[in-house]
Amino acid sequence: MNRIENLLAAMTVEEKIGQLNMVAAGYAVTGPVLASGTAEGIRAGRIGSLLNLWGAQEIHAMQKIAVEKTRLSIPLLAGFDVLHGHKTIFPIPLAEAACFEPRLWEASARAAAIEAAADGISMTFAPMLDIARDPRWGRIAEGAGEDPWVVTQFAKAKVRGFQGGGLPEGLASAGAVAATAKHFCAYGAALAGRDYASADVSERLLHEVYLPPFAAAVAAGCAAIMPAFNDIAGIPMTAHIPLLRDWLRRKAGFDGVIVSDYNAVAELIRHGIAGDLVEAAAAALRAGVDIDMMSGAYSQGLAPAIARGLVSIEAINAAVRRVLKLKERLGLFDDPYRRGSAGASAPNVSAARRDLAREAGRRSIVLLTNDHVLPLSPELRRIALIGPLADARADMLGPWAMAGNASDPVTIREGLAAALPDVEIVFATGVTIAGEDTSGIAAAREICRDADLVLLCLGEAASMSGEAASRANPGLPGAQNALAEAIFELEKPVVVLISSGRPLMISTIAAKAQALVATWFLGVEAGNAIADVLTGTFNPTGRLPVTWPRDVGQVPIFFAERPSGRPADPDNHYTSKYLDMPIEPLFPFGHGLSYSRFGLSKPRINKKDFKRGDELTIEVDVINEGAAAGEETVFLFARDIVASVTRPLLELKGVGKIALAPGEGGTICFRLAAEALTFPGSDLQPVFEPGEFLLSAGPSADPHGLLTVKVRALPG
């Protein structure tokens, strides 16, 4: 027998249940329940894994109890949320998505894993793969935006980065951590954008939109999956047999660990599908949830559930086997202290990781509008830096930075001062982020009078996005609009920088600013990255990974809509539009300006007719018509014109990038397998249907900028 079967044979039922119990060690609070007596619980064999503890010394102290003071010496898993960096905080995932760079996504996950592992952590609750199309939902900040193709690439890159793909020892390396793809699934479809609310999405939407990123994570070898808090059409994900057992385990072939979300097993009672902890525990275990995070339902309810005949010991054995297997894959049995041992790299912020954070930061920034004021002119002598986000150090970290240090980030003010030593920078906040006090506006306005240009730094506090941070009115909070109005009245050139975890409703500001820049939350190098872009040291390349609405009434909004039988037509009343607002967003998916201008050719294709098994190559010539070296991003979309079910108006199939000197031309080549044009048919099974397709290439999902060719799929 192997190690795991030997252990299973030796374990009591209580010890088995202990392996399925994860508790918070109390350092960080990410949920409503707090555990106490952790050390005692480990010693008694009632705890198999921890969360919210970091620091090699602290984790090793707990590990020592598990290894030396328990009967079977089974090491602990130590889980932690490492969403956008551990000590070196990187841009929030929504920002990083704007880079459209799998190489960078992987690199920042690798760097984060090295630091987290050096801090004793063996498992992270990331990547977050929730497609989000509603900026009211605060957790839109934690994922890679609205599109399944993008989130699928993000999933692969992040899993590889966290788990040490490419390292000789893989997941067992001292610098690798087990990834947890979350939240499975459709959590981003929460009713009215309210966190933890119900989601009711069709089977089709699941198969076309919400499941593919998880399938990609599984195929990339992701060690764990976390079910979401929500129910889908009445079945809470923590007890969802069709999705967890039938789809994830059987169809997608996932044999790793399913770890519940925080307290989610016990919350099955509140969902109203379990009468007590015993029924809750049984429902989750039957669906295939291996680890109960923090609810105590498994530790209190599984033994009685066996007695009541609600679960079998075989089901418990299967869950324990998967947990032990993960511990084995992580190398914990061979050396429980390998993560965080002397000799492993230090967990602290290093110069190289800061450089990576700066690179990720500047590539995440999206230049939304620019009326010839950026890059900042070298002639400027006096800049007024105004607004509550201009010197907001801790906020630059963003919403998930538990091990991060609030004093680490470079603020916008500091970044600019370092980049422009010869320019006088006068500064005032004017208002606080969310306060209603307008008494500071006059002074802020006053210091703008003699300035050549105003940089207005507006936005949200970091705590206004992320978990439990839904906003019914996701605009500028507090008195920031009043501040902006007062500044615009001066009729100076105003560049507005928006720090936020979501697209904010800022149509009026966008119309009045000479330039508008989305700077999200960029982490420790925020100020330097922003200064790089403002000064033109770095020519912006970021593109929106989400559609940016004009107003909250347009939500949910995304580019991959299905066609209406009555598409919007201003001359026809009975068409799909609003009476009081255009249907177009403020900025489309993929939008983002550069200091260069690029010309795109119509796509060239290697064949007009193709069959299953063929590969299409689509070439787009790009020319840099501007005066600065720059990088262009081209999106490839497909539209199936006539199919057995309606297909989205645009489906993203590829993203290409090219760096070009002024006047230089080059070619982006997309390879598109015919199979990429399959879709779930009327029975939800994948079909490849003959007929015509439009392939469109362009700088964003704005239909006006797309260049289109027609191709034809032949039968057979």
Residues with catalytic function:
261
The HSE-up count of residue 154 (CA atoms within 13 Å, CB side) is 32
Residue from 19, 30, 173, 696 touching ligand BGC (CB under 6 A): that is 30
Of 79, 11, 3, give the one whose Cα is nearest residue 46.
11
CB of 180 to ligand BGC, least distance (A): 7
Looking at 72-167, which runs of residues are DSSP E strands? 77-80, 123-124
Which residue, 141 or 650, has its beta carbon nearer to ligand BGC? 141
Q: What distance in Å separates the CA atoms of residue 716 and residue 713, rounded to the nearest whole number?
A: 9
CB of 261 to ligand BGC, least distance (A): 5
Show the tokens assigned to 52.
């919210």
Residue 130 binds to ligand BGC (criterion: CB under 6 A): no
- 1 with 33: CB under 8 angstroms? no
Residue 467 binds to ligand BGC (criterion: CB under 6 A): yes
Cβ–Cβ contacts within 10 Å for residue 12, how many?
11
Which residue, 230 or 370, has its beta carbon nearer to ligand BGC? 230
Which residue, 291 or 454, has its beta carbon nearer to ligand BGC? 291
Which residue, 261 or 632, has its beta carbon nearer to ligand BGC? 261
Which residue, 25 or 526, has its beta carbon nearer to ligand BGC? 25
Q: What distance in Å separates the CA atoms of residue 147 and residue 208, rounded to the nearest whole number?
A: 10
Query: Residues binding ligand BGC: what is the number (CB under 6 A)?
Result: 9
Residue 81 binds to ligand BGC (criterion: CB under 6 A): yes
Q: What distance in Å separates the CA atoms of residue 78 and residue 709, rounded to the nearest whole number?
A: 52
- 18 with 48: CB under 8 angstroms? yes
Residues 32-61 that bind ligand BGC (CB under 6 A): 51
Show the tokens assigned to 262.
């925080």
Q: At what angle do helices 480-488 and 441-448 cross, to 10 degrees?
A: 30
- 203 with 684: CB under 8 angstroms? yes
H-run or E-run covering 669: strand 665-673
Q: What distance in Å separates the CA atoms of residue 517 and residue 23, rounded to the nearest whole number?
A: 42
CB of 79 to ligand BGC, least distance (A): 8
Residue from 18, 25, 31, 35 touching ligand BGC (CB under 6 A): that is 31
Residue 528 binds to ligand BGC (criterion: CB under 6 A): no
* CA 555 centroid distance within chain: 19
CB of 330 to ligand BGC, least distance (A): 18
Which residue, 149 or 187, has its beta carbon nearer to ligand BGC? 187
CB of 28 to ligand BGC, least distance (A): 8
Of 399, 406, 416, give the one whose Cα is nearest residue 456.
416
Residues 167-196 that bind ligand BGC (CB under 6 A): 182
CB of 136 to ligand BGC, least distance (A): 17
Using DSSP bridges, classify how beta strands 679-680 and 686-687 pair: parallel, antiparallel or unpaired: antiparallel
- Binding mask of the shown chain, residues 259 to 278, with x at each position contacting ligand BGC by CB under 6 A: --xx----------------
Residue 125 binds to ligand BGC (criterion: CB under 6 A): yes
CB of 462 to ligand BGC, least distance (A): 16
Q: What distance in Å separates the CA atoms of residue 537 and residue 394, rounded to the nearest whole number?
A: 25
CB of 547 to ligand BGC, least distance (A): 24
Which residue, 263 or 547, has its beta carbon nearer to ligand BGC? 263
Of 645, 644, 623, give the one whose Cα is nearest residue 632.
623
Sheet holding 651-660, edge to edge: 609-610, 707-713, 691-698, 630-640, 651-660
Q: What distance in Å separates the CA atoms of residue 548 and residue 133, rounded to the nearest whole number?
A: 10
Which residue, 134 or 467, has its beta carbon nearer to ligand BGC? 467
- Binding positions for ligand BGC, rule: CB under 6 A: 30-31, 51, 81, 125, 182, 261-262, 467
